[in-house]
Amino acid sequence: MSKLYVLYEHSAGFALFRVTEFEELAAFLPQVEESVTDLQRFNSVVTLIAFQPFKSAIVALENINAISEGIVPEDLNLFLEGALPKRKKRSKCTLGVADPKLGAAISEALEIPCSHTGAVPEIIRGIRHHFHALIKGLTLKACSIAQLGLGHSYSRARVKFNVHRVDNMIIQSIALLDQLDKDINTFSMRIREWYSYHFPELVSIVPENHLYTKCAEYIKDRKSLSEESLEPLTEILGDSEKAQAIIDASKMSMGMDISPVDLINIQMFAGRVVALSNYRKQIAEYLHTKMNSVAPNLTTLIGDQVGARLISKAGSLTSLAKYPASTLQILGAEKALFRALKTRSNTPKYGLLYHSTFIGRAGLKNKGRISRYLANKCSIASRIDCFSETQTTIFGEKLRQQVEDRLKFYETGDIPMKNIDVMKQAMEEALQEQEQEAVASAKKKKKKKKKEKKEEEAMDED
C-alpha cells in the first residue's frame, strides 16, 4: 500500500505532512473537498511529520526564489532527506507537491515519485487554510505577517531585477513616441486650418508641419512683417529664399484680418505644439540610448525604433528572444495571418519588419526572402542581447553585414560568407574587446591607487 506525503512551502518554513487512507481519499474526492473547511475532520486525515522554520527573511527569499524557478534549494533537500523514509522504502511512497516543475526536480534529486493531481490540490488547500492550527506555537497573525513580508520582498526583487536592462521603459517610450506623432500631426493640421484664415499663402511656401508651426508662432500678424524679419525667418527655415517669399506674400495676402485676442490664442497653441515637437525629439534620443544599453545588437541590426516595436509587441526582450524566427517575421501582422488562414489565401511575408530599410531596398521578388533572412538574424541578435552577460555591438554589426551581403547576393549572385565563419570572427573580436577593456580598467585602478598614495603622503607631511 503506497503512502502519501504532502510538502507545503509556507513563508514561515517547510512542512511535511502524511495523509492517512490515501487510496480511499482518491476515490472520495467530493468528501475530501467538504472536509477541507472542517478542522476536526481534516486533522483525522492529515498528520504533521516535520516542520523546518526559516532562520531569517533573507533565507526565506532565497528559498522561495529557487522554488519559483523549479529548483530544489539545499535547505529543502536536507529537510526532505531527513523527514522522508530511507531511499530503499521511497518507491512505495508518493510526495504531493503544488508545482509540477518542483516535483520533477525533487523526484530526480531524491528518487521519490511526485504527484500534483487527484486529491493532492485539495489537501494542500486544506493545509493552507488550517496551517496556523496544524503547527504548534504559530498564530494566524504571525502567519499573515510572514506572508506579507516575504510577498513584498519577493515582488521587490522581481521588479528590481537588473535595473540597467529593464525593457519596460522601452515599451512605454515607443508607445509614447507613437502617441506624440499622432497628436503633433493632429495639432499641426489644426494650426494650419486656423492660421490659414489670416495667412493662407504660408501653407504653399512652408508645407512641413513643424516649420509651419514655428513660422506661425513667430509671425503672428502678417502685417507686422518687414525686411527686418528676414533674418529670424531665415534662421527658422534655414532658407533665405523661402523667408523672402513669406515677406513678399504677406504684403499681398488674401487672408482676413484677425483680432489680437485670436492671434494670441493661435500663438499660444503654436508654442505648445513646438514644445511637444521638441519633447518628441528628446524621447527619441532617450529611446536610442535605452535601446543601446538594453539591446545593442538588435539596435545595430534594424535600428532603435523597429527594435523597440518588436520588444513592445512581444511584451519583453526575454519573450522576443524565446520566439522562433518564423513568429518574429510576422509579428505585427496577426490580423492578416488569421484572415489568410481563414480564407486559405497567401499568408503575410512580414509584419513590423517591413519598416526596416532592408525590405525597402530589396526587389519585389526578393522581399519575402530577405524578410525571412532578416527575421532569422533578429532572432539571433535578441537572444545574444537577452542572455549575454557583457554588452557589445560586434554581433549586431556582423549580422547587419550578413544581411547586406545577402541583398548583394540576390542582386549580383556574389556568394556570401557562411554563418559559422562570421560568428567565429565575431566571437574572436568580442574576446579581444573584453581583454582590452580589462587592461584599460586595470590601468585606471593603478592610477587611482597612485593618486591616493600621493594624497596620503601629502597629508602625512602636513
What local confidence, expressed as pLDDT, does residue 414 receive? 86
| Range 337-344 contact pairs with CB under 8 angstroms and sequence separation of 24 or more | none
What local confidence, expressed as pLDDT, does residue 1 receive? 53
What local confidence, expressed as pLDDT, does residue 152 receive? 86
Specify the pTM.
Answer: 0.65
Round to whole Å and give the CA distance between 207 and 239: 14
What local confidence, expressed as pLDDT, does residue 160 receive? 60
Q: Which residues contact 458 (CB under 8 A, 6 or more apart)?
A: none
Q: What is the DSSP string of 49-65?
A: EEEEE-SSHHHHHHHHH
What local confidence, expressed as pLDDT, does residue 21 receive? 63
Return the closest-CA partner of residue 272 out of 205, 310, 318, 217.
217
Pairing of strands 13-19, 46-53: antiparallel
What local confidence, expressed as pLDDT, does residue 459 receive? 74
Q: Which residues contact 228 (CB under 8 A, 6 or more apart)?
A: none
Pairing of strands 114-115, 13-19: unpaired
Pairing of strands 3-9, 93-96: parallel
Give me the amino acid identity at 212: Y
Q: What is the DSSP string of 84-99?
A: SPPGGGGGGEEEE-S-
Cα–Cα separations (whole angstroms), residue 181 to 192, 256, 273, 367 = 16, 31, 11, 28
Identify whether the C-beta of residue 48 lies closer than 8 Å to the C-beta of residue 134: yes
Question: pLDDT tens string for the chain (462 positions)?
Answer: 578 889 999 888 999 998 876 555 544 456 666 667 777 777 878 888 899 988 888 889 888 888 888 888 888 888 888 888 887 777 788 888 988 888 888 888 888 888 888 778 888 888 888 888 888 888 888 888 888 888 888 887 776 655 446 788 899 999 999 999 999 999 999 999 999 999 999 999 999 999 999 999 999 888 888 888 889 899 999 888 999 999 999 989 898 988 989 999 999 999 999 999 999 999 999 999 999 999 999 999 999 999 999 999 999 998 999 999 999 999 988 898 899 999 989 888 889 999 898 998 888 888 999 999 999 999 999 999 988 878 889 999 999 999 999 999 988 888 888 989 999 998 998 888 888 888 888 888 788 777 777 777 777 776
Identify whether the C-beta of residue 440 lies closer than 8 Å to the C-beta of residue 448: no
